[in-house]
Every structure is written in structure tokens, then in C-alpha cells.
Amino acid sequence: MNLVLSTRQSPLALWQAEEAKRLIEDRHNHVNVSLLPVSSSADQDQSTALSRFGRVGIFTAEVDCALLTERAHVGVHSLKDLTTKIEEGLCLAGVLPSGPPEDVLITMDGRMLDDLVPGSRVATSSPRRKAQLLALRPDLTVLEIRGNIQTRLNRLEEGHADGLLMAHAGLVRLGLGNRISEVLNVETFLPAAGQGIVGLTTRATDTETQNLVDNLTNDGTDLRAEAERTFIHALGAGCTAPLGVLCTKEIGRLRLRAQILSLDGKRKIAGDMSGNNEHPREIGLTLAKELLEQGAIELIAEARE
């Protein structure tokens, strides 16, 4: 059986697709997997700030279009980029084992966040990371940056910024873990929903392919994904909301922590709860309700303006 995976063309996206290929072929000896690289809207426009695109799916639409037009069977995505309302006719059919979920700081001289002098320039493309950074270090200057991982590292080396905030998993997957100056504490820098997880979409009616990509992980990544994505869906929050959430397994239970901030980092609403690991959806819904009662919807609405 031949199986085609659609993927973005960035080095990280291709790594993720190759990992999906390896896991599928290792589990199913009769399957031959090939890749179909496509160019996403975000790849084609690397100058516009992500928050200004004005539409969802800028990293995922072209990948999923290959499924809808039957040029591919599976779409490979960074789960944090995949909206909770999946394209009509498609479904989230599986996930790969999670990488490290944290954010990291990269500086040229190895300085950590506490060591940065006031006025230091830290670059990120994420409104969440910007808000979390300003909440902790309002004396720093936050710069917008676009491009793939290597492009951002090059900008740092050229002196355009004093530090970068990036996802831990992407650097490790590309063999660039030695560039990390500090792994940021999740108590302060809660990651984006699904950060470090690779998600696999299929056509909703393609049960044969769904069976091939289901259960590629047994480390609880699927539980984490369901709890976190249920939470942000219940809030009606998009990928660019200044919102962090992380689900972890703790002795037979799931712990879900979340925070929503104003874009300037001056206001924050947070919650923390645990529940039975057999009910990740219920945990996500319950914590979302708690934060909505605290006024989360106002901060989310402000971020859209």
C-alpha cells in the first residue's frame, strides 16, 4: 500500500514528516510512505506579523488542501498551528510522541533571562511569548521576527536581536539543542496548546488511513493533546491568543495549567486543576469554564483587536 504525507517545506516540517513516515512504516510493514512538500501561506510571506494575517490556517491550509484534493492521504502538522476547528471533511486522526513542550531562550553569549540588561532586545513571533516575557521583564524590548529556525538564528548572529524565544522541541529535532541558553520554566512560560506535538490529519471518511496513523504513541501525548485542545476550543481562542496551557501526567492523573495574559503582560488570569487521566476532555472543559468566569473572554477579545 502506498501512503502520501503532505507537509510544509521547512527543515523542521520535513523532519516531522520523516518521523511520521518512520513510525508508520515501522508499525505497518506493508505500507510504503512518500512525502508531498507544499508551500504554505506563512512560508510564502515571511515579512507580515503572524497576528496580522487576518485569517486562520496560514501554516496548515495548503497541507490539508492536498488531502481534500486527494493528492495525499495524511497531513503532517505542528499541532500548535492546527486550529481546533479542523477543515470540513478532515479530522485529527493521530499524534506522534511529544517532544519537550517548553520555550527556550537563545543568546549569543549564553546569558540567561535574568542576566539580560534592561533594554535588551528579545525577538519572537508569538504574542503569547511576548506577553509572558513582558509580564516577567517589562524592562526588555520585544521585537517581531519571522522565518524558519535557521533564519532566526542567523538574524541573532547578525546582531538584529540580543536573544530569541523559541520552542524547545524544534531546536532539538534539528540537532540545534546546543544553541539553547536557557530552558524557560513552564510555571512562568506555559507553552502553546500542543507545542512539541506533531498532529496527523486525514479525510474524515478515510477510515483505512485513520487506522494506520492511530496509536502511534503510548506515552500519553494523545491525552495531553485532547485536554489542551479542548481547553482552547472551549475558550474560542485562536493560535495567536496570548494563552499558555500545559497538560502533564502525574501518578495516574492529569494536571492542566493555563494562563491568559493581556498583550502587554500587565494582566493575567490563571488556573490549575487535576483530574482522572481517562477524562482529558472534561478536564479541559472544566478549566476553561473556570477561566471564563474570571474574565478570560475579555483578554481574548482584546488580543483580536
| Options 21, 129, 173, 224, the catalytic residue | 129
What is the rounded CA–CA span in Å between residue 247 and residue 256? Answer: 4
Q: For the chain, give me the number of helices (H) and strands (E)?
A: 10, 13
Does the active-site annotation cover 81?
yes
Does the active-site annotation cover 266?
no
Angle at 130 between CA 274 and CA 222, to 5 degrees: 35
Does the active-site annotation cover 152?
yes
Nearest to 204 by CA among 79, 88, 96, 56: 88
| Options 8, 21, 64, 80, the catalytic residue | 80
| Options 130, 152, 179, 229, the catalytic residue | 152
Does the active-site annotation cover 146?
yes
Neighbours of 56 (CB within 10 A): 17
| Options 64, 81, 103, 162, the catalytic residue | 81
| Options 146, 249, 281, 289, the catalytic residue | 146
- Does residue 127 contact residue 260 with C-beta atoms inside 8 Å? no
The CA distances from residue 13 to 17, 38, 119, 156, 252, in Å, are: 6, 10, 34, 22, 33
The cell numbers describing 218, all together, are: 503510548
| Options 128, 130, 179, 203, the catalytic residue | 128
CA 249 from centre of chain: 19
- Does residue 6 contact residue 74 with C-beta atoms inside 8 Å? yes
Residues designated as active site? 80-81, 128-129, 146, 152, 239
